[in-house]
A = this chain, B = another copy of it.
Amino acid sequence: MPRPKSPSTLMWDAPARTRAPLHRDDVVRAALDLLDQAGIEGLTMRNLAERLGVQAASLYNHIRDKRDVLTLIADAIVADVPRPDARLSWREALKSTAIEYRRVLLGHRDAARVLTDTPPLGPHRLRLMDDVLGILRSAGFSNDEVASAGWIFNTFVTGFVLDEQSQAPASTDPAAAQQQFDVATWLKQLPADQFANIVAVAEPLVDQPMDRRFAFGLDALLDGLEGRLRAAASASPRPARSRAQTSATRRRAARSAPSR
């Protein structure tokens, strides 16, 4: 499909390129838009190129490969997670970070899928992890506990949203939405002698609000962490640095970190 050649080379000396050359950021922005509209299935190099008015091969001037695109998108998404408020207790800070993290992920179609498909080594994902680890350190956990708890925290949020987002299937087509497989009634019709427990709790299992379910798991996890902290403190009292103290370090880091 050749586009009409510019007459500039024949008649006069107007600029040959009618559009500013692509930049890496344009590609990432367009890819994120495409993800939101078409999902991870629709995010192909060819679709992405079309959206940028360019051939697919051109993209490889700006990114290494598709994995690269996904990794950049993932980091761009996480960039929107606000940094924790240093005035909060470690528990409040962790809780609000989890809630904000989930909220940001839910803001982009298949976001959790992109995150789990991709190494968490971009600057914003490292930033988030560093903040979480900072909160845990300020609470007084040992380095070993900080590493475990930080990992678990991340796994919990992304794992939860991954399930949550793969619930709602691909289609925006209104007809398909109607005849869409209804898990609720299907679960209730399961043979009660084989799946007595599922049948018994089918109702909350299906229409329980995901917000509340998330809060339930998060609170349970935080309770568990708090218990470990108290146990360690009563065994050998080791005072936690105050959150205000570590916050200075983290505010300094925020200033020197690249904003995007």
> Which of A22-30, A52-60, A92-100, A141-149 lies at the interface?
A141-149
Query: Which residues in chain A, 101-136, are within 8 Å of chain B measured between CB atoms?
Result: 116-117, 121, 126-127, 129-131, 133-134
Given the complex, which residues of B lie within 8 Å of A193, measured CB to CB? Answer: 252-253, 256
Report A3-40 CB contacts with B as 1/0, cut-off 8 Å: 00000000000000000000000000000000000000
Are A208 and B148 closer than 8 Å at their CB atoms? Answer: yes
Are B252 and A147 closer than 8 Å at their CB atoms? Answer: no
Complex CA distance for A256 and B193, rounded to whole angstroms:
8
Does A212 touch B at the CB level, under 8 Å? yes
Q: From residue A141, how far is it (CB to closest CB) to chain B in Å?
A: 10
> Closest B-chain residue to A143, C-beta based?
B201
> Closest B-chain residue to A135, C-beta based?
B197
> Which of A70-78, A218-226, A232-240 lies at the interface?
A218-226
Given the complex, which residues of B lie within 8 Å of A216, measured CB to CB? Answer: 145, 148-149, 152
Interface residues in A, total, Cβ within 8 A: 63
Q: From residue A148, how far is it (CB to closest CB) to chain B in Å?
A: 4
Interchain CB contact (< 8 A) of A217 among B148, B196, B213: B148
> Closest B-chain residue to A258, C-beta based?
B194
Are B149 and A160 closer than 8 Å at their CB atoms? Answer: no
Q: From residue A257, how far is it (CB to closest CB) to chain B in Å?
A: 5
Interchain CB contact (< 8 A) of A163 among B147, B155, B204: B155
Does A162 touch B at the CB level, under 8 Å? yes
Given the complex, which residues of B lie within 8 Å of A148, measured CB to CB? Answer: 204, 208, 212-213, 216-217
Are B159 and A204 closer than 8 Å at their CB atoms? Answer: no
- A147-B201, A159-B159, A219-B224 are known contacts. Are A213 and B152 too (CB-CB below 8 A)? yes
Most chain-B CB neighbours within 10 Å: which of A146, A150, A205, A208? Answer: A205
Given the complex, which residues of B lie within 8 Å of A158, measured CB to CB? Answer: 159, 163
Are A133 and B221 closer than 8 Å at their CB atoms? Answer: no
Pairs across A and B, CB under 8 Å, 14 listed: A126-B195, A126-B198, A137-B197, A146-B201, A148-B212, A151-B205, A155-B159, A155-B217, A193-B253, A194-B257, A196-B253, A220-B224, A220-B228, A227-B227
